[in-house]
Amino acid sequence: MQTAYTVLILLMLVGVSRLLGRVIPLPLPLVQIAAGAVLAWPTLGLHVALNPELFLFLFLPPLLFSDGWRMPKREFWRLRGPILTLAVGLVLFTVVGAGYFIHWLLPSIPLPVAFALAAVLSPTDAVAVSAIAQNRLPAPLMHMLQGEALMNDATGLVTFKFALAAAITGVFSLANASVTFLLVACGGLAIGVALSWVVGRMRSWMITRGWDDPATHVVFMLLLPFAAYVLAERLGASGILSAVAAGMMQSWLDLLPRQTSTRLLNRSVWSLLEFAFNGLIFLLLGLQLPDIIKAVVRLEPTLWPTLMYRCLDVVVIFLVLLALRFIWVQSIWRLSGLLRRWRGKGELTMVPTARSCWLLTVGGVRGAVTLAGVMSVPLLISEGLDFPERELLIFIAAGVILLSLIVACIALPLLLRGIPKSQDDAMRAEVREAWRRTAEAAIHALEAEEVVEPEKQDAALAALAAELKARIMSEYRHQLEVFNDSAEAQALASQMDHLESRLRLKALRAQRLELYSLRRHHEIGDDVLSEVLRDLDLSEANLGTVK
């Protein structure tokens, strides 16, 4: 029962931290880390013992699957060059550069273990950056950070596992590791895509037979990332890349027909799951901080001097990571511009100014994946032999996560000063065009539709059918007016939309009050209340925010 109580307390605290984040002007991860540290204070004494393998399996597959699902695929393809240089080249550059530096700074950490630490410090967290920047980052930069976070989660953690294997076995061959890396990576991608495709075909087969219960399909989606991860690991491939590939594939397969209710439920469930898991990881980091600090200084004669030196080590390692990232971003971005001009393709989408380079550098915030990875470091190398400096590795990783969040909180608003909130004009134009084209298609379909069959037609029914069709067509013609390019037409349509929304909202709220009254007077049952209330809530949600 103690475990159940602990889980319930942590979940409650995840929700409370979200409310505190609206009041406290700090990013949500920092609030959650602080809340976990408060819970671990001796007077409260909440302690959670983590199993490294269970921690890795429980948290990483769904988070990576969700990242793959949400990544804009077209932007990912358009920016594939910069994203791959950040997600693959920068990871390897960081592993080598930071790995040698960590081993030089802390000789007690063996070189393979230093490489493993540098690898687990490579993955970035675009969600935290988005929360700090508040949609003010230019769209190309945000897409680069999202794509990098998606791919370097995989490359960083795969490299981390190779370095761990070298640390445990003491055997490493660059040639063998390179070939194995390619096989493991390609195998993981293939397994994730294949399994996701099979699940999609199975769902399509179920839907054609009328088995379209949304809850059943959502359960399949919840199990898919774990299945992709386990299957790939069992076959000797990368479970991490398999989960990412399954998420990216499933975002296409999610467009199955007759699945509106499933999509609504699926998005809600995954938003909740992503929020809860990210929150739990940062809460667990806060809960582990006292134990991490105690483990680091337990063999030292003095507490504060040792802790101060360890904190200085963290600061120096973070500054080296920042410098390596800036050097890579600056060099590769300028080299890409030179190559494009040499090949006659013109300039890049964004000119590589000093500000944009610093935004990409500071935007490399470390987060949940780094913590989940470092927590998965095994306790023992072999029977009776502890993993070297495991507590110090976790302390450094936790410190780098905290420092990257704090630096981003300070530096990003300063770098974004004078830049208005991101207004993607191209995307807005695409949205207007999509609504215009879909409204025209609906009108054409309605014009061609014979509502009443000729043999069953009578005058009264035909008049009602014509009136109904005209009413629906008028709504679509109104949509065409809303997305008219004329500024005057858009202003008038906006005013009419606002007035209509207010009237509809007032009517919906009156309906809801009447519904409550009927239930209070026992004129309807709970099942009727639930069904009608759900439809009213969906109608109000479709109205959006009405001022």
Give yes or no: residues 375 and 338 share one domain.
yes
Q: Which of 485, 514, 529 is the last residue of a domain?
A: 485
Measuring CA to CA, how many Å separate 233 from each of 164, 169, 365, 416?
A: 16, 19, 28, 42
pLDDT score of 440 more than 80 = no
In this prediction, residue 457 carries a pLDDT of 53
Q: Which among 320, 312, 292, 301 is positioned nearest to 392, based on CA atoms? A: 292
Give yes or no: residues 333 and 363 share one domain.
yes
| Arithmetic mean of pLDDT, 59-81 | 81
How many alpha carbons fall within 13 Å on the CB side of residue 182? 5
Give yes or no: residues 391 and 456 share one domain.
no
In this prediction, residue 52 carries a pLDDT of 62
Rg of the Cα atoms in the chain: 27
Residues 511 and 537 sit within 8 Å (Cβ to Cβ) = no
Give yes or no: residues 119 and 171 share one domain.
yes
Give yes or no: residues 431 and 401 share one domain.
no
What CATH number has the domain bearing residue 228? 1.20.1530.20
CA 502 to chain centre: 34
**pLDDT bracket for residue 195 (50, 70, 90):** very high
Give yes or no: residues 220 and 105 share one domain.
yes
Q: Which of 445, 470, 485 is the last residue of a domain?
A: 485
H, E, C per residue of 314-367: HHHHHHHHHHHHHHHHHHHHHHHHHHHHHCCCCCCCCCCCHHHHHHHHHCCCCC
pLDDT score of 6 more than 90 = no
Residues spanned by the domain of 455 = 424-485
Give the predicted TM-score (pTM) of the model. Answer: 0.76
In this prediction, residue 11 carries a pLDDT of 86
Q: Mind listing the pLDDT tens digit for each residue in 410-430?
A: 888 888 886 665 555 566 666
In this prediction, residue 190 carries a pLDDT of 92
Q: Which two tokens stand for residue 303?
A: 């507490």
Residues 41 and 123 sit within 8 Å (Cβ to Cβ) = no
Give yes or no: residues 402 and 472 share one domain.
no
pLDDT score of 50 more than 80 = no
Residues 375 and 56 sit within 8 Å (Cβ to Cβ) = yes
| Arithmetic mean of pLDDT, 329-338 | 78
The percentage of the chain sitting over the pLDDT mark of 90, rounded to a whole number, equals 10
Give yes or no: residues 152 and 285 share one domain.
yes
b/e 327-345 (16+ beta carbons within 10 angstroms → b): ebbbebbeeeeeeeeeeee
Q: Mind listing the pLDDT tens digit for each residue in 62-71?
A: 888 887 887 7
In this prediction, residue 317 carries a pLDDT of 95
Give yes or no: residues 214 and 358 share one domain.
yes
Q: For residues 35 and 29, what is the distance between their CA atoms, to the nearest angstrom?
A: 10
pLDDT score of 256 more than 70 = no
Q: Mind listing the pLDDT tens digit for each residue in 363-400?
A: 888 877 787 788 777 766 666 677 777 888 888 998 99
The C-alpha angle 29, 33, 37, rounded to 5 degrees, equals 170
Give yes or no: residues 345 and 450 share one domain.
no
Q: Where are the beta strands (DSSP E) in 153-268?
A: none
Q: Mind listing the pLDDT tens digit for each residue in 121-150?
A: 998 887 677 767 666 777 778 888 888 887
In this prediction, residue 100 carries a pLDDT of 93
Q: For residues 18 and 169, what is the distance between their CA atoms, to the nearest angstrom?
A: 43
pLDDT score of 484 more than 70 = no
As a whole number, the mean pLDDT across the chain is 79
Q: Which of 485, 508, 534 is the last residue of a domain?
A: 485
pLDDT score of 359 more than 90 = no
How many independent structural domains does the chain possess? 3
Burial class (CB in 10 A: 0-12, 13-18, 19+), 288: buried
More confident residue, 90 or 444: 90
Q: Which residue do the tokens 């990871």 mark?
A: 91
pLDDT score of 352 more than 70 = no
| Arithmetic mean of pLDDT, 468-482 | 75
In this prediction, residue 327 carries a pLDDT of 92
Give yes or no: residues 417 and 465 share one domain.
no
Q: For residues 339 and 344, what is the distance between their CA atoms, to the nearest angstrom?
A: 8
More confident residue, 304 or 346: 304
pLDDT score of 516 more than 70 = yes
The percentage of the chain sitting over the pLDDT mark of 70, rounded to a whole number, equals 81
pLDDT score of 514 more than 80 = yes
Q: For residues 285 and 459, what is the distance between their CA atoms, to the nearest angstrom?
A: 72
Q: Which among 400, 407, 415 is positioned nearest to 367, based on CA atoms? A: 400
pLDDT score of 87 more than 90 = no
Q: What is the DSSP letter of 420?
A: P
Give yes or no: residues 329 and 266 share one domain.
yes
H, E, C per residue of 481-498: HHCCCCHHHHHHHHHHHH
